[in-house]
Amino acid sequence: MAMNVESGEGSMSIAKPVSSGLSAVYRRNLQGLALVPAIIALTIVGAMINPAFLTTGNLFENILGFSSALGVLVIAESIILIGGNIDLSLQSTVGFSVVLFCFLTGGGDSGGPGLGWTPLPAASATLVVAICIGLFNGFIVSVLKLNAFIVTLAMLILLQGLTLGISNGQTYTNVPEAILFLGTGQILGIPVQALIFIGAFLIAGLFMAYMPTGRAIYALGGNPTAAFAAGIKTGRLTIGLFVFGSLMAVVAGVLLLSQVASAPPNLGANIIFTVFAAAVLGGIDLNGGRGSIVGAALGVLMLSIIQNILILSSVPSFWIDAVYGAIIVATLTVGRLPMLRRRFMRPR
């Protein structure tokens, strides 16, 4: 202990001063909550535009419920991004897994070609296929060291093609009752979808913040070499991330299926763009290692609120996407302005 004091004094004069106090506390603990003011502002705008906005039905069913599939995908993509990887193929795993299940159980008046299996083996087979997709992506990225972007882009195209191929381009209508309940059912007056949305983010948030595996994922994305040197099995973890992503895509597929009550071959099309928009808005760093699940949840919430307000307001339907895109771009830009100011304040 005597030694500490001695050496402590020596390094004190040279130690770099570090920012402390309120700003540091805010930065460390509330970083994920950056979108809260924007969400409050949007809520006020929504309430002013249309009184229907602030009804419990609208909030739970349309805002939380309809974005449950998006939310599950955002959780999957955020965790993969935090781990320093990227998976674009999630989007087509959504449609492929659902259409595959309908194909296996289908036949007769199912709306498309099918094999007529019973639901249980069909569901198991679908899960096995999804796990294989994740294993394959993970193996190529982690062992063969190919770029994750291009590998999963190829996988996205392949799965999209397979979905069209097996369904013959037709829409399945043989949706099991249990799945339909997910779409319309309520527990204690709250839609099941909204409960799933809240539960999924709660579990994912706690997992990433407190479980050793969650922390190892942060380390993997923040500095893979350091994670490796700390004894983390980085290869295995990377493969695990992709398998987890595929399984979550299946869950998202089931949630989407329950909403639309049929399985068209383009189920989930283009959803990956919204997934990335929500994750990035929520502060997930595309370079890995930074961002929180709470932030990602707020990102999803914000996008859903914007979409909801656009529908409730009198924006012509063909213009909704353009307005939606413009708001995302604007939000991202505004979020970066403080950094810009810092750069100009400290000229090099």
Alpha carbon 92 to its chain centroid, in Å, reads 14
Task: Verify binding: residue 56, other proteins, rule CB under 8 A.
Answer: no
Task: Verify binding: residue 23, other proteins, rule CB under 8 A.
Answer: no
Restricting to residues 290-309, which ones interact with other proteins according to CB under 8 A?
A: 290
**Residue closer to other proteins (CB basis): 150 or 230:** 230
The C-alpha atoms of residue 272 and residue 291 are separated, in whole angstroms, by 19
**Residue closer to other proteins (CB basis): 50 or 223:** 223
List the one residue out of 326, 275, 72 whose CA is nearest residue 156: 275
228 by Cβ neighbours in 10 Å (0-12 / 13-18 / 19+) ranks as middle
Minimum distance from residue 250 beta carbon to other proteins (Å)? 25
Restricting to residues 29-48, which ones interact with other proteins according to CB under 8 A?
A: none
Q: Which two tokens stand for residue 153?
A: 């882009």
Task: Verify binding: residue 227, other proteins, rule CB under 8 A.
Answer: yes
**Residue closer to other proteins (CB basis): 1 or 345:** 1
**Residue closer to other proteins (CB basis): 8 or 325:** 8
Question: Residue 190 in 3-state DSSP?
Answer: strand
The C-alpha atoms of residue 94 and residue 256 are separated, in whole angstroms, by 9
Minimum distance from residue 3 beta carbon to other proteins (Å)? 5
Contact assessment for residue 266 and residue 94, using Cβ atoms and an 8 Å cutoff: no
Q: For the beta carbon of residue 38, count every other beta carbon within 10 angstroms.
A: 17
Task: Verify binding: residue 16, other proteins, rule CB under 8 A.
Answer: yes
Q: Which two tokens stand for residue 293?
A: 């699940």
Minimum distance from residue 236 beta carbon to other proteins (Å)? 10
Minimum distance from residue 11 beta carbon to other proteins (Å)? 4
Task: Verify binding: residue 337, other proteins, rule CB under 8 A.
Answer: no
Please report which helix (H) or strand (E) contains residue 317, including its range. Answer: none
Q: Which residue in 50, 61, 119, 215 binds other proteins (CB under 8 A)?
A: 215
The C-alpha atoms of residue 106 and residue 113 are separated, in whole angstroms, by 7
Task: Verify binding: residue 219, other proteins, rule CB under 8 A.
Answer: yes
12-20, 87-95, 180-188, 314-322 -> range binding other proteins (CB under 8 A): 12-20
- B/e letters for 170-189, b = 16+ CB within 10 Å, e = fewer, are bbbebbbeebeebbeeeeee
Q: Please give the residue ranges that form the binding site for other proteins (CB under 8 A).
A: 1, 3-4, 7-8, 10-16, 18-20, 24, 28, 206, 210-212, 215-216, 218-219, 222-223, 225-233, 289-290
